[in-house]
Amino acid sequence: MKKFIKNFKASQDFKPSFFGILVNPYFIVRYNIFKGIKKFSSDFNKGSLLDFGCGSKPYESLFKVEKYIGLDTNQSGHSHKNEKIDVLYDGKKIPFDDNHFDYIFSSEVLEHVFNIDEIISELNRVLKNDGKILITLPFVWGEHEQPYDYARYTSFGLKNILENNGFEIIDHIKTTNFIETIFQSLTAYLYHSIIPKGLKTFLTLILIAPINLLGIILGKILPNDKTFYLNNIFLCKKKKTLEV
C-alpha cells in the first residue's frame, strides 16, 4: 500500500490529474502549469527542442519532437541526482550554434537566472528564424532553491524583456486568479511550515485537499480577478533576422 501511494504521488507531481488534489499539496499551481503547457505543446511537433533548465524533464512526453535536448547548469539550489541532463553549461554561453533548434521550452527556470537579458538573447540566438519558445515562470511564489532565486516578473515586465531580445508574443496565460492564488498560498504555507513531516501525506488528504478544492470552487464563483496570480506562460516566436 505504501508503495502504491508513493508511486501515485510521484505520478501526480508535475502532471496531475484531478485526483492529484488528494496527494499533491501544490495541486492548484502544478495543475494549471501542466494545463497551459499541454495546450501549447501540440505546436511543437517536429525537429529539435532545447529544454532550458531541464532538471528531470517532467514534461518531455508532451512534446512530439524528433530530438529533445536537456540543458542545465551546476549552479543550482537542488541536487541534479537522478535528473535527465544531456548538457551542462556555464550559465552564460549556451553551447550550441546559431539557429540550431526548432523549439525551446523552459519551465520555472528564469526566476533563477540573474542575467536574464543575456540569457534570453542567447536563447534567441540558438533558435531558428520563426522558431517557437514556450516559457513558464512564477509571479507569486515563495523563495525556493535558495540562494539561486533572483526575481519575479509581471506579465508586462517579461513581455518587454522578450520583445527587446527578438521575440514576438503569440499568446500569454496567467494560470490562476486572485482567489485560487490565495488558497494555494495558504496550503503551501500549511504544508511547508505547519504540518509535521510524518503527517504530511495524511494531512494533505484530510486538510490540504479540501482547502485547495474550496479555492478552486470559489475561484469559479467569485469575480475572475487576474491581477494577482501564480504563473505566467508565454508562447513566442523568434522574429526573422536578415542573413548577411
Averaged pLDDT, 56-61: 96
Question: Above 50 in pLDDT, residue 34?
Answer: yes
For the chain, strand residue ranges (E) read 48-52, 67-73, 87-89, 101-107, 127-138, 167-174, 231-238
- The pLDDT, as a whole number, for residue 6 is 84
Residue 5 — pLDDT band, cuts 50, 70, 90?
confident
Which residues lie closer than 8 Å to 142 by C-beta, 6 or more apart?
188, 192
Quote the pTM value.
0.94
pLDDT digits (tens, 9 = 90+) for 160-192: 999 999 999 999 999 999 999 999 999 999 999
Output the nine-digit C-alpha cell for 201. Answer: 501525506
Domain regions of the chain by residue span: 1-41+178-227
